Every structure is written in structure tokens, then in C-alpha cells.
């Protein structure tokens, strides 16, 4: 307990500087913008704006990114409610009851309820983080190369059940990411690999070009193709709606609390993320409700369930990332890559070596949630205007930022072209259900994966048995086997059920 | 969609074969993939076997699709609708032109031209909005990158003029 208090004190000292608060506020504004714009979410916001942080100290960077993340998650609800198009994937479940509420003329009530529920979810999850992360980190201190390798296999396996529908496609993307991470100098022997004789590949492929290419340009192309259609429903915003929303939340406090806990736990599970969490919470609370038949017709409980759980999950996703170096969601995978560039090595040592960073992250979680809330509540009418920003203006601006990001990696055209190629590849992958997140994760963790694998093999004299004879490593491999097997068994069972139904 | 799936899987298979060739066959880029005393697995080992896994996986995707195509034919809903394709090309075309002309126009002039074109002719916004966005945006990134972040972006033909502003 004492170390938690002193940690929090460190975090408060780091967070509450005028500069960091300003950065936090800027992040909230930008995150809100990305969250509200349909087709782009906090994931794209973080991917596109991550390069900005490389001129900031790590603590300020973290606050900036956390602000984009939370504000983006919150902003997505506004789009879901008034446009019936999820502003972000994690707000997709909020459409279910949020949009019917807006149609009934209760749009403002829905937005206020969503904002308050997400504030509660976010804050409580930060408390959970404080108590869960330190013990988890202590446990991981005893890891050697074989354990680290198996841990990374778990990280890759987590995405198998999540990303696309096909496990094989997830494996292809993971492996391709690992191959890309090999391009350039081999850190163990100094040989230059996989260049195809082209000088441009001598400086390896940075994960940033892949991130901005796939999540920036690729995403823009996908959105442009789909086109954004739909009628914005403008709510009449009054303070009466706000007080009413608070009363409703108080009435359903048990629901909000259980969905927060559920969301947090789902978020902590590696790679599950906020989107499945919100759907699970919706389903769970619906089955627990006294009036399950009315869910989906526009009742505030539906909005509370999804928004409290998706915010809690967003926070939970940081727990395995900070403690073990396994990102709990695609977004955490991008942040993980950022951490490496900020000069931080994720994993158990982070808590000991970078207390300022870790506790700063925890405290800024609280601060940013509150900032987002105040910003959102006070500016609802203005935020509704952002919804109408034509995508034709956003497309070139996003593209330019992505391409500049490529350029500044090395001040040459090679990386600019890489961004464009990743953009096109990202577009095709998205359309054909090849998940992009595993590729990014593999590109980030690739060097560590290869190093731990080769070190383990060197230690064992070339025998792969070392991963099975070390108990923790063996357990981790079993977990990943289960993770890979789960979606396969599920699809086999589904196919069998279909056959039986047909028969 | 089926055709696109087949092309994509073939692309992965071809890519993995190319990578294995790069490591094992092409002179000049060859890497040892065996075991060396004191080093353990050599530099080509990890990427070579990864490429092998990728090849196997792409075949797992490809073969059932081919079997299905042989049985049912290739006709099904198209990969992208005509309108969708037009929209994508309208967004991607200017982007590509922007990148191709970057070495000559540089980021600042290039961005202005790109924005004006994209806003006026793709987005059908007014000339005023297009020009204002294009010029203000370039001015903003110039100030941010060159003055505050001290990162020098390519300036192309405007190099002599813009350098005087710093």
C-alpha cells in the first residue's frame, strides 16, 4: 500500500506541470476530433499523431497519447448516437440503443449518459490498474529468454481469436510482420539481410511507416470507398438532460459497476480489447435486466452498459502492456512501438527503472478522463458540428501527415514510398479480412522475438525442447496453443451445426 | 471476391518464395541459414523459416479457394463496386501524384497544390475554401516543422525562397 501511495505521489508530480496539462488538453481536443469523425477512431488518431510525440519527453508523450485514446473512445459515442455509424469500432455497440434514443428526441440525454458512464468506467478502471499492475510486474521478473519467447508467442496468439475471421490469415500477417522486422542489419551477426540488393532497405523498415500507412492511408481509402451516408440527428441540448442523465446513472449504479468490472477484465486479457468488451457487457446486462425486451428500442441502460465497459477495457488493455510487454489491444500495440522509440523497454523492469513513466501513466489516466468529460459535456453543440466535416477535406490532410511521418524517419523518399505501399496493402488486407494489427505487433516485437529465440537455442545447443522443459515457458506455449485452437474449433463447430440444421 | 482472394493468396505465396530465393539462391544477398558454433542459428535462419511458414499458410488459404472456384466457377459479387473504385481512385490518384512530384515540388508547394486540387476538384468545395486551406496548411506545417521542431522537410524548387524565411 505504501509503495502505491508513493507511486501515486510521483505520478501526480509528473502529471501536474503546466506543460503536461497543456499537452493533455491538446490531446483531448484532437482525440475527440478523431473519435467523432466517422471512419476514423482513436486508433487512427494515435497512429497518425504518434510521430509528434518523438520531440516530447516520454511522460508528456504518454499523456498526449492517453488523452487522444480516452477522448477518442468517448467521442465515438457521439457519432454512434446521432449518426448511427460508429465513430469508432468500440462504440459500435452504443448504436444499438443510442441511435433509437436520438430518434425519440432523447439524443442529448443519450450523449450525457454515455459521457458519464464512460467517465465512471475509465476512472474505476484506473483504480483497478493501480492494484493489479505492480504484482503482475513482480511476477514477470523471473523471465529468461525462453520465457520471453513463449510470452511473445502468446502475444501473437491473442490476435488469432480477435482480428479477422481466419486464423491462417492472422498467422500470415504475423509472420509477414516478423519477416519485415528482419529487413536490414541483423543485430546478432551484423549481416545485412532481405534487401533484395536494394540500398533503400539497408535502414530496416520502421514500424511507423507501416502504422501510418495501414491505419492512416489504408483506412482513409477504405472509408472513402464505403462512403459515409446517414442523417445526423441534432439533439436539443439542455441542462435538464444532464441532471436527468446523472439521476439515471445513479438509479442503475449496479449495472454500471458490473459492466465496468467486466470491461476491465476483458481488457486485461491480451488482445481482447474494447470492442468485444462492449458487446459482451451489452449482452450480459441485457440478460440481467428486468426488461430485456426493451433493449435495442432506445433505453439509457444500453448506452451505459457499452460505454462504461469500453472505457474500462481501454484502460485494462494497458495492464499487460506495461507489465509484460504484451499489448491488450491493437491500439496498445501501437503505443508499445512508441514506447520503444521513446527509449523505454516494456516489461517488468519498467516498474523499477521508469517509475516516473508508469505512475505518470496511471495518474494521467485519471486526469485525462476528467478533462475529456468536462470538454465533452460543455461543448456538445460544437462537437455536433465536427460531425459534418466533409471527408474530402480530411483525406488529403491525413495523407500529407502520414507521408511527412514517413519522410522524417530518414529524410529520404524511400520511407515515403513505404508509407504509400503499406497504405495500398492495408486497403487490400482490410477488404479481404487479413487483420492488420498482428502485422504491426510483429513488426514491433520482431527483433525481441528473434533475439530471445536465438539466445534460447544457443543456450540449449539447438534443441527446441528448451521451451517445453522450462515450466513457465511451457505453460505460456500451452496458453497460445489454446488461443490458436479456439477460433478453429469454433468455426468447425459452427460448420457442423449448419450441416445439422440443413439436414 | 473469390478472384481477389485467390490473387491475394497467390501474392503471399509468391512473396514467400521470393524471400526464400533471396536468402538461398540470389548471389550477393545470400545468407547462411544453418547453425554456427558460438553464434547459434545464423542470420538467414529466422527469416527463411518464417517465409516457409508463410508459404504453407498461403497455400492453406489458396487451395480450398481454388477447389471451390473449380467447382462453382468464379462468378460472384465483385471485389469493389464501380462507384467504390471511382471513389478510391479519386482519393488515391492525387496522393500518388503528390508523392511522385515530391522531389521537385517539395512538401510545401506540393501540399498546397495537392490540397487545392483535392478540395476543389475531388471534394467540389469552393475556390476560396480550397485556396485558403491549401495555403494556410502549408504555412502551418512550415512553421511547425522548420521553426519549432527544427526538422527540415524537402522543399524542392522553393528551397532558395523558403530558406530566406528561416
The string of pLDDT tens digits covering residues B55-100 is: 999 999 999 989 988 888 777 778 888 888 998 999 999 999 999 9
A168 to B123: CB separation less than 8 angstroms, yes or no: no
Name the residue in chain A with its Cα closest to that of B117.
A396
B95 to A178: CB separation less than 8 angstroms, yes or no: no
What are A449's three cell numbers?
522475438
Around Cβ A56, how many Cβ atoms within 10 Å? 17
What are B155's three cell numbers?
522543399
The dihedrals phi and psi of A299, each to the nearest 5 degrees, come to: -115, 145
A225 to B88: CB separation less than 8 angstroms, yes or no: yes
Find residue A184's DSSP bridge partners.
A193
Q: Mutate which of A156, A182, A229, A425 to disrupt the B interface (most B C-beta within 10 Å)?
A: A182
The predicted model gives A125-135 an average pLDDT of 86
How far is B80 from chain A, CA to nearest CA, in Å?
Answer: 8
Digit-coded pLDDT (tens) for A161-203: 654 468 899 899 999 999 999 888 887 777 888 888 787 788 8
Tell me which residue in B54, B95, B153 faces A407 most closely, judged by beta carbons.
Answer: B153
Q: What is the 3-state secondary structure (H, E, C) of B10-54?
A: HHHHHHHHHHHHHHHCCCCCCCCCCEECCCEECCCHHHHHHHHHH
- Mean pLDDT for all residues in chain A: 84
B91 to A428: CB separation less than 8 angstroms, yes or no: no
Report the half-sphere exposure of A426 (CA within 13 A, side-chain side).
27
Q: Residue A85 and residue A230: Cα distance in Å, rounded?
A: 8
What are A310's three cell numbers?
469500453
Interface A-B, measured as beta-carbon pairs within 8 A, has a size of 162
Helices (H), B25-146: 45-72, 82-117, 127-142
Return the pLDDT at A163.
46
Rg (Cα) of chain B, in Å, rounded? Answer: 25
Q: Residue A150 and residue A475: Cα distance in Å, rounded?
A: 9
B94 to A227: CB separation less than 8 angstroms, yes or no: no
For residue A73, is pLDDT > 50? yes
Q: Residue B118 and residue A369: Cα distance in Å, rounded?
A: 36
Question: Is A453 part of the contact surface with chain B (CB cutoff 8 Å)?
Answer: yes
The predicted model gives A430-449 an average pLDDT of 85
For residue A160, is pLDDT > 80? no
Return the pLDDT at B94.
94
Show the CA angle centred on residue A29, arms to residues A27 and A31, nearest 5°.
Answer: 65
| CB distance A156 to A438 below 8 Å | yes
B125 to A55: CB separation less than 8 angstroms, yes or no: no
Helix crossing, A42-49 with A18-36: angle to 10°? 130
A194 to B47: CB separation less than 8 angstroms, yes or no: yes
Q: Residue B68 and residue A216: Cα distance in Å, rounded?
A: 34
Q: What beta strand segments (E) does A112-209 contain? A: 184-185, 192-193
Q: Mutate which of A48, A213, A225, A492 to disrupt the B interface (most B C-beta within 10 Å)?
A: A225
| CB distance B87 to B31 below 8 Å | no
How far is A175 from chain B, CA to nearest CA, in Å?
Answer: 6
Question: Is A343 part of the contact surface with chain B (CB cutoff 8 Å)?
Answer: no
Question: Is A431 part of the contact surface with chain B (CB cutoff 8 Å)?
Answer: yes
For residue B131, is pLDDT > 90? yes
Instruction: Find residues 22-51 of chain B whose CB sits inside 8 Å of chain A.
Output: 22-23, 26, 28-29, 31, 35, 39-47, 50-51
Query: Which residues make Cβ contacts (< 8 Å) with residue A373, sequence separation at least 6?
Result: A74, A115, A116, A118, A119
Q: Residue A211 and residue A407: Cα distance in Å, rounded?
A: 14
Tell me which residue in A189, A220, A427 faces B42 most closely, judged by beta carbons.
Answer: A189
How far is B2 from chain A, CA to nearest CA, in Å?
Answer: 10
How far is B84 from chain A, CA to nearest CA, in Å?
Answer: 4
Return the pLDDT at A152.
84
The length of chain B is: 166
Q: Which residue has the cell 512530384?
A: B101
Return the pLDDT at A39.
67
Return the pLDDT at B101.
94
What are A2's three cell numbers?
505504501
Q: At A503, is the pLDDT very low, low, confident or very high (cuts 50, 70, 90)?
A: low
| CB distance A133 to A243 below 8 Å | no
Burial (Cβ within 10 Å: 0-12, 13-18, ≥19) of residue A3 = exposed
Q: Residue A42 and residue B125: Cα distance in Å, rounded?
A: 27
Return the pLDDT at A216.
85
A176 to B84: CB separation less than 8 angstroms, yes or no: no
- pLDDT > 90 in chain B, percent: 47
Name the residue in chain B with its Cα closest to that of A420.
B96
Q: At A458, is the pLDDT very low, low, confident or very high (cuts 50, 70, 90)?
A: confident
Q: Residue A274 and residue B129: Cα distance in Å, rounded?
A: 38
Return the pLDDT at A477.
92
| CB distance A122 to A70 below 8 Å | yes
Rg (Cα) of chain A, in Å, rounded? Answer: 22
Contacting residues of B for A176, CB less than 8 Å apart: 12, 15, 54
Question: Is A189 part of the contact surface with chain B (CB cutoff 8 Å)?
Answer: yes
Digit-coded pLDDT (tens) for A74-104: 888 888 888 777 767 778 888 888 888 888 8
Helix crossing, A167-182 with A471-502: angle to 10°? 140
Name the residue in chain B with its Cα closest to that of A202.
B29
Closest CA to B106 of A170, A242, A14, A416: A416
Digit-coded pLDDT (tens) for A368-408: 999 999 998 888 877 877 777 777 888 898 899 889 888 88
Question: Is A432 part of the contact surface with chain B (CB cutoff 8 Å)?
Answer: yes
A416 to B102: CB separation less than 8 angstroms, yes or no: yes
Digit-coded pLDDT (tens) for A260-285: 999 888 888 765 667 778 888 888 88
Tell me which residue in A428, A453, A458 faces B8 most closely, judged by beta carbons.
Answer: A428
What are A465's three cell numbers?
525442447
- Report the DSSP pairing between strands B40-41 and A192-193: unpaired
Contacting residues of A for B42, CB less than 8 Å apart: 189
Question: Is A403 part of the contact surface with chain B (CB cutoff 8 Å)?
Answer: yes
The dihedrals phi and psi of A227, each to the nearest 5 degrees, come to: 75, 150
Q: Mutate which of A39, A52, A146, A175 to disrupt the B interface (most B C-beta within 10 Å)?
A: A175
Question: Is A166 part of the contact surface with chain B (CB cutoff 8 Å)?
Answer: yes
Q: Residue A129 and residue A319: Cα distance in Å, rounded?
A: 6
Question: Is B107 part of the contact surface with chain A (CB cutoff 8 Å)?
Answer: yes
Helices (H), A252-348: 253-268, 274-288, 300-316, 318-324, 330-341
Look at residue A15 and give its three-state secondary structure: helix
Contacting residues of B for A166, CB less than 8 Å apart: 61
Tell me which residue in A55, A395, A399 faces B149 most closely, judged by beta carbons.
Answer: A55
How far is B74 from chain A, CA to nearest CA, in Å?
Answer: 16
Q: Residue A315 and residue A330: Cα distance in Å, rounded?
A: 13
Amino acid at each position: 500500500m505504501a509503495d502505491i501511495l508513493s507511486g501515486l505521489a510521483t505520478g501526480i508530480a509528473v502529471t501536474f506541470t503546466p506543460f503536461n496539462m497543456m499537452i493533455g488538453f491538446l490531446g483531448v481536443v484532437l482525440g475527440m476530433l478523431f473519435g467523432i469523425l466517422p471512419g476514423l477512431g482513436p486508433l487512427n488518431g494515435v497512429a497518425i499523431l504518434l510521430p509528434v510525440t518523438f520531440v516530447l519527453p516520454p511522460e508528456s508523450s504518454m499523456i498526449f497519447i492517453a488523452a487522444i485514446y480516452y477522448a477518442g473512445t468517448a467521442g465515438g459515442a457521439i457519432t454512434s448516437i446521432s449518426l448511427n455509424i460508429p465513430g469508432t469500432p468500440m462504440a459500435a455497440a452504443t448504436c444499438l440503443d443510442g441511435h433509437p434514443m436520438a430518434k425519440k428526441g432523447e439524443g442529448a440525454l443519450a450523449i450525457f449518459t454515455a459521457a458519464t458512464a464512460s467517465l465512471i468506467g475509465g476512472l474505476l478502471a484506473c483504480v483497478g490498474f493501480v492494484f493489479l499492475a505492480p504484482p503482475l510486474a513482480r511476477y514477470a521478473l523471473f523471465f529468461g529468454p525462453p520465457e520471453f519467447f513463449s510470452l511473445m508467442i502468446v502475444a501473437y496468439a491473442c490476435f488469432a481469436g480477435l482480428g479477422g475471421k481466419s486464423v491462417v490469415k492472422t498467422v500470415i500477417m504475423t509472420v509477414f510482420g516478423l519477416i519485415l522486422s528482419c529487413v536490414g542489419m541483423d543485430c546478432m551477426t551484423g549481416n545485412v539481410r532481405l534487401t533484395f540488393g536494394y540500398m533503400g532497405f539497408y535502414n530496416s523498415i520502421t514500424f511507423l511507416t507501416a502504422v501510418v500507412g495501414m491505419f492512416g492511408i489504408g483506412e482513409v481509402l477504405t472509408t472513402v470507398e464505403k462512403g459515409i451516408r446517414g442523417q445526423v440527428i441534432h439533439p436539443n441540448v439542455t441542462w435538464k438532460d444532464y441532471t436527468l442523465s446523472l439521476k439515471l446513472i445513479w438509479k442503475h449504479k449496479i449495472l454500471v459497476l458490473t459492466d465496468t468490472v467486466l470491461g476491465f477484465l476483458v481488457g486485461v486479457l491480451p488482445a481482447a480489447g474494447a470492442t468485444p468488451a462492449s458487446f459482451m457487457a451489452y449482452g450480459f446486462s441485457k440478460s440481467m435486466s428486468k426488461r430485456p425486451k426493451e433493449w435495442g428500442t432506445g433505453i439509457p441502460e444500453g448506452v451505459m452498459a457499452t460505454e462504461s465497459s469500453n472505457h474500462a477495457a481501454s484502460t485494462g488493455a494497458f495492464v499487460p502492456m506495461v507489465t509484460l510487454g504484451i499489448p491488450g489491444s491493437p491500439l496498445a500495440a501501437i503505443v508499445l512501438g512508441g514506447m520503444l522509440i521513446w527509449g523505454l523497454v516494456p516489461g517488468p523492469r519498467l516498474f523499477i527503472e521508469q517509475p516516473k513513466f508508469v505512475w505518470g501513466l496511471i495518474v494521467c489516466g485519471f486526469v485525462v478522463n476528467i478533462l475529456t468529460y468536462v470538454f465533452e459535456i460543455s461543448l456538445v453543440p460544437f462537437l455536433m458540428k465536427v460531425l459534418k466535416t466533409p471527408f474530402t477535406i480530411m483525406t488529403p490532410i491525413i495523407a500529407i501527415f502520414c507521408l511527412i511521418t514517413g519522410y522524417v524517419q530518414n529524410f529520404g523518399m524511400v520511407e515515403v514510398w513505404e508509407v504509400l505501399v503499406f497504405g495500398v496493402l492495408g486497403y487490400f488486407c482490410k477488404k479481404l479480412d487479413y487483420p492488420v494489427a498482428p502485422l504491426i505487433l510483429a513488426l514491433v516485437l520482431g527483433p525481441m522475438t528473434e533475439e530471445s529465440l536465438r539466445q534460447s537455442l544457443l543456450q540449449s545447443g539447438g534443441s527446441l525442447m528448451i521451451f517445453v522443459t522450462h515450466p513457465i515457458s511451457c505453460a505460456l506455449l500451452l496458453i497460445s496453443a489454446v488461443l490458436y485452437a479456439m477460433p478453429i474449433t469454433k468455426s468447425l463447430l459452427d460448420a457442423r451445426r449448419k450441416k445439422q440444421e440443413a439436414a | 471476391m473469390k478472384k481477389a482472394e485467390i490473387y491475394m493468396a497467390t501474392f503471399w505465396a509468391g512473396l514467400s518464395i521470393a524471400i526464400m530465393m533471396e536468402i538461398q539462391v540470389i548471389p550477393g544477398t545470400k545468407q547462411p541459414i544453418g547453425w554456427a558454433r558460438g553464434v547459434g542459428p545464423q542470420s538467414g535462419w529466422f527469416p527463411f523459416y518464417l517465409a516457409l511458414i508463410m508459404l504453407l499458410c498461403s497455400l492453406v488459404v489458396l487451395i480450398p479457394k481454388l477447389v471451390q472456384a473449380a467447382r462453382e466457377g468464379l462468378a460472384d459479387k465483385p471485389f469493389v463496386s464501380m462507384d467504390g473504385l471511382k471513389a478510391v481512385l479519386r482519393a488515391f490518384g492525387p496522393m500518388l501524384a503528390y508523392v511522385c512530384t515530391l522531389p521537385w515540388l517539395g512538401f510545401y508547394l506540393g501540399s498546397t497544390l495537392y490540397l487545392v486540387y483535392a478540395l476543389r476538384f475531388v471534394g467540389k468545395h469552393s475556390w476560396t475554401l480550397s485556396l485558403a486551406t491549401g495555403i494556410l496548411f502549408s504555412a502551418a506545417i512550415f512553421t511547425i516543422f522548420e521553426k519549432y521542431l527544427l526538422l527540415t522537410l524537402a522543399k524542392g524548387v522553393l528551397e532558395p525562397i523558403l530558406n530566406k524565411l528561416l
